[in-house]
Structure 1
Amino acid sequence: MTDMHGNTPVGGPVPPNPGDEHAQHAAQTGQQPYYQQPYQQPYQPQHTPGKVAVEKKSHGLRTFLLAFAGAALACVIGLGGFGIWQAANGSSSNGGSQTVIGSTEGGSVNANDEDLTLPEAVAKKSLPSVVAIDVYTNQSAGMYGYGYSSNSGSGTLTQSSLGSGVVLTKDGYIITNNHVVEGADALKVTIEGEQYDAEVVGTDPSSDLAVVKAKNASDLKPIEIGDSDNLIIGEWVMTIGSPFGLEQSVATGIVSATSRSQIMDGSSSAQQGGSGTTTIYANMIQTDAAINPGNSGGALVDSDGKLIGINTLITSYSGNYSGVGFAIPVNYAVNIAQQIIDGKTPTHAQLGVSLSNVNAQNAQRYGLSVDSGAYVANVYSGSGAAEAGIEKGDIITKFDGNNVESASDLMLDIRAKNPGDKVTLEVNRNGETKQIEVTLGSDDSSQSATQQNSSSSSMLERLLGGNGGSNQNAA
């Protein structure tokens, strides 16, 4: 949330850009990203509708090769907590949709019913709802930034990466990470030993979420949807997915923490093998249950076998599991998936301002009243901020009672809310502290503009509502 060019807005000086703090931190810590690696398995389209049996995979050389595969799972994770997730539960956010997400045959897992241990009972319930996703790309077009291209010019579709997904509906809607399917020319999904051709229904790159559809699928087993708002640190969880291509793998652990948040900006994403899209990870679930390359998009379930998160990121020096993994909370993820399935462009809460960081150095230089917070460089007409009376030159220091140390903090706080939510901001205006209630708007207009316009303007600006022609970040 910084002024990339040191511009001075009307209404007061903009604190200068402190630089790419996330990239600097990654360089300092030595944390290593995952990269997708090329496969040499050609794509074979299904010539008959529906599913076909899948041959069992060898555990020899192929497994060794798969150990170097996986989705781009890199990120240095911030340790700040930003309140409890407020996104609506997917089961209550259908908005009249005919597509019902999640299993309607819920219930608690009782390990004693079949003389099973808890992990055995949870795995038996949840495994049929977790899929393996094989991604194929056209070699003649290159590997979308992952450093591999074919000289044959044949244009053959070749397996380039893999990931996991979770079944949401009986007819084949599957949620996964955007980075799993990004750049795919063809997809296949394996569900309970059966393979289907699949297609991308829609994506939300800013949240790293996507929905794919298994073609001609029917009578699948949707996962039961849990509630990520009420997680308890220390409670038992299980990760399910295809680490290193080993389908239907489970690992157990606990919820290590909640409310872990991070913004991966475009330059950091590009350096780590991604597409250069800014991604906002707010209020993620931290777990010590194993997450490895290939687990991306898979399920994090609780002791009742209910989905509570979508496995997405790790922090690691080695590039492999180090006991610190992260999942996108299900309440948020399913809300986004429901919008995609309903044919809508996913939207997010928006305040309607451009922001810059405030720190001790620029506070002293510019004579600011506080030495931390988010400096309001511009307020957009018709936004929630404008209607509430937020002004240029205000410094936002608290969001619903939580301290705001930087513009990035405020962005993450806002992303954890829904359009229409009311929030209370503490604002320092010329040395005077004010409490201002704001009704958050929606970024639907800027999202539509993003789809129609891929200009060189700031991705954060287009994503979060900035439309003032500068490179100041917006929220």
Structure 2
Amino acid sequence: PSAPAETITHTVVKTKTKKLPVFVSSLAGLVVGAVLVIALVMTGALRIGSTNVDAPALSDSGSNQTIQIDTEDTTLAEAVSAKALPSVVSITAVNEGSGEGGIGSGVILDTDGNILTNYHVIEGATTINVSTNDGASYEAELVGQDESSDLAVIRLQGADASSLTPIEIGDSDSLTVGEWVMAIGSPFGNEQSVSTGIVSALYRSTAMQSTSGTTIYANMIQTDAAINPGNSGGALVNDNGELIGINSMIESYSGSSSGVGFAIPVNYAINIAQQIIDGETPAHPYIGVTVTTVNAYSARQNNLAVSEGAYVNSVNADSPAEEAGLREGDIVTAVDDTQITSADGLIIAAREHSIGDTVTLTVVRDDETIEVDVTLGSDAEVQAESQDGTTGEGSGNSLSEDELRQYLEGLM
């Protein structure tokens, strides 16, 4: 007799670690290929050409750091570590009511004490404590968050501006595959740890379901630098010591680093962070429709013309979708050249662009396929009304167990 088939469990992990047992959560309903990303944020340029490395501050409220480095005997990793480590912190977030908590990482943005991290690091916390590179410990307050982007800003209480080293911000749009990078954070609670690697790929996107709703990870940076639970919210920096991403997730069979980590691009992260600091509602590109996933079962049950795509249940009034002429019952099958196979796929495709961009939707309407140009709007106003500008149900095109059974019965 043949040997039984081996069952392989694929785990997507957000890289926050609990204080005692390591935090590794298996998340259901993920888009195929979802990955665990760990964010790294840094503010300080590294220039090696003399014995001094000057790191200008991120904002006017910052201060320069001068680090003595012997360029003849110092490796690149040592120089970048010396520059970036002072700008990365360890975060302990605890819910005093439940006693639950976890450890993550964060990046110092300015000398006002604003720190960028992942939302899932501080989610549900009633107390937040931050440890800096010099051994100091501070309480922190939540400034604001953007759950759908998995980003949050916290602010240190009582910190002296002269003791804070803001990270220098790089340009994630200029990254190339193969570029050298360093990840900095607190893996498994081990503070001020660094690992090196390269940019493995760019523009990786996925959506994940959580207690706060759907989190959209768009245009992520993939790296083989080791990222583990506890690295969430930490910095991914380039060879100039500039922040290029916020480490957030990994794709792993074990729940620990497997060489496939992901970071939120710094250009996007800083834009969201600045809106939070300014007291604004973080804005994202949106289309203005409510959609559900089309799969083989729903297509058969509803006599649809296609077996995959995003079915438009409703169109928001005065939205970009309404202005473009989208209708209830339309099925979106592509955005520009990207095939859309699910509701989440449409939301991700919108987030991969910027507010004001015009995209071309391929739409199946009855038995006809048409193209509709949509200029993406801002979802800030609809967020204020507690609505999601483009919402959807279904994080993939696969059938549930019940749908698969009913679908097969229908074929008999």
TM (norm. structure 1) is 0.69
Residues 137 and 71 of structure 1: is their aligned pair in 2 closer, same or farther, counting only changes over 3 Å?
A: farther
Residues 348 and 235 of structure 1: is their aligned pair in 2 closer, same or farther, counting only changes over 3 Å?
A: same
> Within 5 Å, which residues of 2 pair with 1:296-335?
296-335=232-271
- Residue identity opposite 1:378 in structure 2: S
Question: Partner of 1:288 in structure 2?
Answer: 224
Deviations 1:113-162 (A, max 9, x none): 45321111111111111111122331xx214xx5xxxxxxxxxxxxx321
Distance 2:293 2:32 in 1: 17
Give aligned pairs, total.
364
Distance 1:343 1:31 in 2: 36
Partner-residue secondary structure (3-state), 1:315: strand
Shift of 1:211: 0.3
Match of 1:196 among 128, 138, 141: 138
Deviations 1:45-69 (A, max 9, x none): xxxxxxxxxxxxxxxxxxxx5xx34
Query: Are 2:249 and 2:262, in contact at CA under 8 Å, matched by a contact in 1?
Result: yes
> Within 5 Å, which residues of 2 pair with 1:93-108?
100=59
RMSD after superposition = 3.3
- Residue identity opposite 1:131 in structure 2: V
Distance 2:148 2:128 in 1: 22
Shift of 1:427: 1.8
Partner-residue secondary structure (3-state), 2:213: coil
Distance 1:279 1:321 in 2: 22
Shift of 1:344: 1.0
Query: Are 2:233 and 2:246, in contact at CA under 8 Å, matched by a contact in 1?
Result: yes
Query: Are 1:376 and 1:393, in contact at CA under 8 Å, matched by a contact in 2?
Result: yes
Question: Partner of 1:163 in structure 2?
Answer: 104
Question: Partner of 1:463 in structure 2?
Answer: 388
Deviations 1:84-108 (A, max 9, x none): xxxxxx9xxxxxxxx94897979xx
Distance 2:305 2:192 in 1: 56
Distance 2:273 2:13 in 1: 26
Shift of 1:349: 1.4
Mapped pair 1:235 → 2:179: yes
Distance 2:329 2:198 in 1: 44
Shift of 1:359: 3.1
Question: Partner of 1:127 in structure 2?
Answer: 85
Distance 2:287 2:132 in 1: 41
Query: Are 1:123 and 1:250, in contact at CA under 8 Å, matched by a contact in 2?
Result: yes
Mapped pair 1:385 → 2:365: no
Residues 72 and 179 of structure 1: is their aligned pair in 2 closer, same or farther, counting only changes over 3 Å?
A: farther
Partner-residue secondary structure (3-state), 1:397: strand
Shift of 1:324: 1.6
Question: Partner of 1:31 in structure 2?
Answer: 11
Q: Which has the higher strand share?
A: 2
Match of 2:205 among 251, 261, 265: 261
Distance 1:101 1:416 in 2: 31
Match of 2:74 among 93, 116, 141: 116
Partner-residue secondary structure (3-state), 2:84: helix
Distance 2:308 2:394 in 1: 17
Distance 2:60 2:393 in 1: 38
- Residue identity opposite 1:135 in structure 2: A
Distance 2:319 2:269 in 1: 25
Give ranges in structure 2 of 5+ residues lacking alignment.
Answer: 1-6, 36-42, 44-57, 396-412
Question: Partner of 1:418 in structure 2?
Answer: 354
Give ranges in structure 1 of 5+ residues lacking alignment.
Answer: 1-26, 40-64, 82-89, 91-98, 147-159, 270-274, 451-461
- Residue identity opposite 2:337 in structure 1: G
Shift of 1:168: 0.7
TM (norm. structure 2) is 0.79
Query: Are 2:14 and 2:249, in contact at CA under 8 Å, matched by a contact in 1?
Result: no
Query: Are 1:102 and 1:168, in contact at CA under 8 Å, matched by a contact in 2?
Result: no
- Residue identity opposite 1:211 in structure 2: V
Question: Partner of 2:98 in structure 1?
Answer: 142
Query: Are 1:34 and 1:73, in contact at CA under 8 Å, matched by a contact in 2?
Result: no
- Residue identity opposite 1:142 in structure 2: S
Residues 365 and 38 of structure 1: is their aligned pair in 2 closer, same or farther, counting only changes over 3 Å?
A: closer
The farther-off stretch of 363-372 and 410-419 is 363-372
Shift of 1:232: 1.8
Residues 177 and 319 of structure 1: is their aligned pair in 2 closer, same or farther, counting only changes over 3 Å?
A: same
- Residue identity opposite 2:78 in structure 1: E
Distance 2:98 2:205 in 1: 33
Identical pairs, percent: 50
